[in-house]
Chain A
Amino acid sequence: MIRLFAISALLAPALIAAPQTPRELYNNGLNKLRAGDLKEAETMLRDAANSGQDHIITPALYNLGHVRFSQGKETLKGEGNRQQMLDSAAAATAVAEEVLRSKKPIAELSTNVQELIEAYMEGRAARKQLRASHEANTRTFDLLGTALAKWRRSVGDFRSACELEPSDADAAFNADVVERHIKELLKFKEELEQQAAEVEQKRAELKKMMGKLRGKIPDEMMQEGDGEEEDEDSDEEKGKKPKDKPGQKQEQRIGGEREISPEMGKWLKETMKQRTMNVGPDGQPNGGGDSNEPDPLGQPRRDGRFPGGQQQAPKGKKGKDW
């Protein structure tokens, strides 16, 4: 009994450490794909494809194409509504443009402190919207970049499978479908880039205008938090976080939004116009349609055919366990 135990104790690590054969890697990768564990599936199918065994390379590549397409889709889930994003960027730009149009002459010519402060506050609000839009754009660009890289690799996998097995029409078809998705994504990215460029331009113009306004408003009317936004922008441009003096951070945060004198606040309350954004009926942004959702007809399926409906498990040779 003791001998048996000793033998099993000696053999167990060897059995555990035994490397998987390409066939096992492929089958396990496929199971992971079915279970939705895309990362593991990618690793295993990649290793299977790298085994150099001709009969495994093609199906492994085919399924690797699916894994990477799915990974790209997963990445885009964190993207938010595309149309809403474009609309909010457009709205922020429009607001900034309006502020610039109406308040720039004041910044240039006026000496009326109340007017200057009003212009400053409006400028600040507009810049805040622009910054929010800028941050959303940056996040989206990151996601789009990741998804695009995955999808391009997916196309490469499908095309490679097709090159190795020219009769594999499914792989060629899937490659075309993923390319269509990439085109759509690039189109959106282009639109977003245009919007982002406009946002950046308006931010720069507003920054300039507010600089002028700050120069004209007497120091005693300005309070510590007024320069905060300017500082944040500058730091952002330099690519680093603003440095907070010890003990000042909390104070600035609390007063950061409206750090103006009480009499000026009262006056502003009376005189400032209410601004609302036109976002369409029911509080929903105009343009509607969740463009994030890929067209179900365009989703590559593991069996290679593309009728509508839900994805199916890999079929035929590609999905078969050896």
Chain B
Amino acid sequence: MKTLFLFLLACAAAFAEAPDDRFEKAKRAMSDSDYGEAAYQLRELVSESNFSHGALHNLGNAEWKVVRPGHAILAWERAALINPRDTNTAANLAFARHKAELPSPALSWTESYSTWLSPNVWLAAASLGFWGGVMLLTLPRLLGARRADWHQGIAALSLTAFLFTIPALFGLSRRGNLGVALEDATPLRLTPTREGEELVKLPAGELARVEKERGNYLYVRADGDRAGWVRREEFERIWSRR
């Protein structure tokens, strides 16, 4: 029994593709214009939590080619989240929105501010700023050393840096509720029920903000105060919570 289990495990390991292999396959498929295969490989790659800016950007390109604009915009938004400075991703998003006549997302100032850097950088800056400042103020005293002027100067700088990250962190947490309608004519329902009345339909790729959740439904609000319940499988948060 144990042997059989080990054998099956070995087989599974042998058949499981390494992320690099998948990426290579996807690249080859893209260069052969086999966008369906490329999208499949990249989707698998990303679904295994191998989030990288390159994979997501290419996934967006492949999805756009196979005419899945909602999925393409989601992938590009995720890529832009990881690397907000990439002009290609930003250009693709602008092009897709223009083509699909989608409104640009209305972000608050904290949200716009949070797009200057990636979430990792903001988090790192906040951690370093806070703990660096605290350490510089407390460690000399704990270690019995005299607190020098430069200690206080750097502590002040660190804490100032931390203060600057607070609005960005707040903006990031708010942006965590943004999501994308995946399919065209995604219905917003009056109630979170199977037979809920359809109030309005969102085009694929439109951004909306999740306000609450109930069972298999999310209550979202899109541009122009269009709000309603949407099924989870029809809508995906940019900042995936899986």
State the A residues within 8 Å of B (CB). 46, 49-50, 52, 54, 57, 61, 153, 155-157, 159-160, 163-164
Contacts and interface: CB of A to CB of B under 8 A. Distances in A.
Nearest to A152: B195
A52 B219 contact: yes
B197 A156 contact: yes
Contacts of B227: 50, 52
Contacts of A153: 197
A52 B196 contact: no
B190 interface: yes
B85 interface: no
Contact of B195 (A46, A50, A54, A163): A163
Interface in B126-182: none
Contacts of B194: 159-160, 163
Contacts, number: 40
A156 B219 contact: no
B191 A49 contact: yes
Interface of B: 190-197, 199, 211-212, 214, 219, 227-229
Contacts of B229: 52
Given A46-B197, A159-B193, A160-B195, 7 more contacts: A50-B199, A52-B227, A57-B191, A155-B195, A156-B195, A160-B191, A163-B195
Nearest to B188: A50
B191 A164 contact: yes
A5 to B, nearest CB: 35
A160 B193 contact: yes
A65 to B, nearest CB: 11
Nearest to B211: A52
A24 B212 CA distance: 22
Contacts of A164: 191-193
A157 B190 CA distance: 10
A171 to B, nearest CB: 11
Contacts of B214: 54
A56 to B, nearest CB: 11
A160 B196 contact: yes
B191 A61 contact: yes
Contact of B190 (A50, A54, A155, A159): A50
A165 to B, nearest CB: 11
30 contacts: A46-B190, A46-B197, A49-B191, A50-B190, A50-B199, A50-B227, A52-B211, A52-B212, A52-B219, A52-B227, A54-B214, A57-B191, A61-B191, A153-B197, A156-B195, A156-B196, A156-B197, A157-B195, A157-B197, A159-B193, A159-B194, A159-B195, A160-B190, A160-B194, A160-B195, A160-B196, A160-B197, A163-B193, A163-B195, A164-B192
A52 B227 CA distance: 9
A157 B197 CA distance: 8
B224 to A, nearest CB: 14
Contact of A50 (B193, B212, B228): B228
Contacts of B219: 52
Contacts of B191: 49, 57, 61, 160, 164
Contacts of B228: 50
A86 B141 CA distance: 100
B133 to A, nearest CB: 42
Contacts of A50: 190, 199, 227-228
A159 B191 CA distance: 11
Closest 8 CB pairs of A and B: A160-B193, A156-B195, A163-B193, A159-B195, A160-B191, A52-B219, A160-B195, A49-B190
Contacts of A155: 195
